Every structure is written in C-alpha cells, then in structure tokens.
Amino acid sequence: MKQQIRFSTGTSCSGSNGMIRITDTIAIDESEIQEDFIRASGPGGQNVNKVATAVRLRFDAGRSPSLPPDVLRRLAALAGSRMTEDGLLIIHARRFRTQDQNRQDALDRLIGLIRQATLKPKPRYKTKPSLASRKRRLDSKRRRGQTKRIRQSVTHNEE
C-alpha cells in the first residue's frame, strides 16, 4: 500500500513556494522528497493491521541540486547504512501512532541530518607531548622493566 503525498507547508517550510528551509543557504524542494506509507510493526491493537501509519521517506541526495558536494560527502558519512550507494537517503519513521506525526518526525530527522552535515569539522592540529609527560612515560617504563627483571628466575652456575 503505497501513496505519494506532497508535504503540507508546516513549521519547517518557508512560505508557499514548496521549499523546505534547512539553513540560510540551503533549501530543498518538496518534489525531491518521496513518502511511502507502510504498516508499522509493534503495539497498536487492531489498528496496526489496518492503517499504514509508518512513513518511509526517500530523498535522492546524490542528485539533489540543493546540496553542495562537501555537504553531500559529510551527509553520506553521517547517514551510514541509511544511504544507498546511489545517494538515496531512506528514513523510516514509526515512532508514533498517527501518520501525520510520523511524517513530521521523518521530515525533522531529515532536516536535522542535513543541518548536521552542513557543519564543517574543526581541523585537528598536531600536538607534541610535553617534556614532563615524556619524562613520566619513560620513568614508568623503567619501573616496569625493573619489576620484570626482579621476577625473572635466577640461574646458578656451579663449577
């Protein structure tokens, strides 16, 4: 049971032009997102077998003109197994009992993931161990070596 549903403009959308605002510079078009409604597993009584409340959101990030290449690269790393080799990001939302809440949850998770991918990682600067820490390390190694020397069996040479 699959349906294609367009997003209604809610809190995450900006105006009536069908764009979903991610950051000040990135907005994705609603037409780039597909939703399939599927039956959710788990508790829910008789309703769980009759109503397709779970949402499978698909976003083709690899072909999206809205995402810069560096954001796409970080998004792929963050998404892990949720992104296919073709760049298709799939998000399953089945936390709630209603379709609308699951739709909003899937959309919020997509927006959060893309926002996290827009943050550039802080560069790592090489550091050297301090003189005191090197001295402590060598002292520790020396003490450990002495302990091992004491534990060795002593051989007696009889002539």
61/71 Cα distance (integer angstroms): 10
**Structural contact between residues 101 and 90, judged by C-beta atoms closer than 8 angstroms:** no
Position 130 scores a pLDDT of 95
Position 26 scores a pLDDT of 78
| Number of structural domains the chain divides into | 1
Q: pTM for the full model?
A: 0.62
- Asked if the structure places residue 3 within a domain, the reply is no
**Structural contact between residues 109 and 117, judged by C-beta atoms closer than 8 angstroms:** no
Averaged pLDDT, 32-60: 76
Does pLDDT of 17 surpass 70?
no
- Asked if the structure places residue 27 within a domain, the reply is yes
Amino acid, single-letter form, for residue 129: P
- Asked if the structure places residue 46 within a domain, the reply is yes
The percent of residues above 70 in pLDDT, for the chain, comes to 82
Position 22 scores a pLDDT of 78
- Asked if the structure places residue 1 within a domain, the reply is no
Position 65 scores a pLDDT of 80
- Asked if the structure places residue 129 within a domain, the reply is no
CATH of the domain at 111: 3.30.160.20
Domain with 51 in it? 19-118
- Asked if the structure places residue 114 within a domain, the reply is yes
